[in-house]
Structure 1
Amino acid sequence: MSQNHTAGRLKKRPQFLRVAGKGRKVATPGMVVQMLQDDSQPDSRVGFTVTKKVGNSVIRNRTKRRLREALRLVAREDGLPSGDFVLIGRDGTRRREFSLLQDDLRKALRKGLEK
């Protein structure tokens, strides 16, 4: 993976739908990662989402904060490849041990980048 540390944000629904429709999806116990490689784009862009099935707004926001922090630490250590990424929180995301959550993210990124 490249050593790119800067990551923009995906905020609009069409951006999320583009990654979901054209990208790859990797499911782990702690999260689902959707990724769309785009070598013409120099920076990475990341979006976070958690469905209402996971819980109320407090729980969903806590889950997103855990995903953001895991991504921040993994990107700092391993770098983040260029492209668009969507991290989807699962019910187990908030209960999963944080080091395992980081491992899930690393594993998903590696698997998603394999051809």
Structure 2
Amino acid sequence: MDRLRQRADFLAVANGARANSPAFVLQSLDRRSLGRDDSGPIRIGFTVTKKNGNAPERNRIRRRLRELVKRLDPVSMQPHHDYVLVGRRDALSRDFTTMLDDLRMAFTKPVRHTHKGRGPKIDGSRPGPAPATSRKPD
């Protein structure tokens, strides 16, 4: 299992499927869906935003997420996939065994796909504001 390190890889995974948990969000992307024909190893990345606390707290969250992945069976991860674990503030106070169960469930349950944007356009034109009516005093 390799690590994701480049920003472009993180952004690509962010457009994939996701599973939510109180302590983290698991994002996943099948690399074959991008048209790549690679048989490379499973790659995983970790990220924690600044809104989750100061640097020591963010690092503690990141360390807990890395330890979760170490203790997880690699068999539960699908080949040819990239994964990103986005840490949340609850990862600091949540019980570790509960987080491990949450991660196992995130890998087994069907994930929902996110759609960026406002959805498909029906007729290709975007409805505009209603035409203004001028009111002239009588």
Q: What is the TM-score normalised by the length of structure 2?
A: 0.71
Equivalent residue number for residue 57 of structure 1: 55
| Matched letter for residue 24 of structure 2 | M
Pick the aligned partner of 1:29 from 22, 33, 37.
22
Q: Deviations over 1:16-72 (max 9, x none)?
A: 000011x10110112100001235434100000000010011110110000000111
Pick the aligned partner of 2:13 from 9, 19, 36.
19
- Partner SS for 1:32: strand
| Matched letter for residue 30 of structure 2 | Q
Please give the alpha-carbon distance, in whole angstroms, between the structure 1 residues aligned to 2:47 and 2:17: 16
Q: Please give the residue correspondences for 1:53-92 in structure 2 after superposition, counting only pairs within 5 Å.
A: 53-75=51-73, 78-82=75-79, 83-92=81-90
| Matched letter for residue 37 of structure 1 | D
Structure 2: which 5+ residue stretches go unaligned? 33-37, 113-138
Report the structure number with the largest CA radius of gyration: 2
Structure 1: which 5+ residue stretches go unaligned? 1-6
- % same residue: 41
Please give the alpha-carbon distance, in whole angstroms, between the structure 1 residues aligned to 2:44 and 2:107: 13
Q: Aligned Cα RMSD in Å?
A: 2.0
Equivalent residue number for residue 3 of structure 1: none
Equivalent residue number for residue 108 of structure 2: 110
Query: Per the alignment, do residues 73 and 92 of structure 1 end up closer, same or farther by CA in structure 2, a change over 3 Å counting?
Result: same
Structure 1 segments of 4 or more deviating over 6 A?
none
Equivalent residue number for residue 8 of structure 1: 2
Shift of 1:79: 4.2
Query: Per the alignment, do residues 112 and 72 of structure 1 end up closer, same or farther by CA in structure 2, a change over 3 Å counting?
Result: farther
Contact 1:35 1:112 in 2 (8 A): no
User: Aligned residues, how many?
Assistant: 107
More helix by share: 1
Contact 1:24 1:112 in 2 (8 A): no
- Partner SS for 2:22: coil
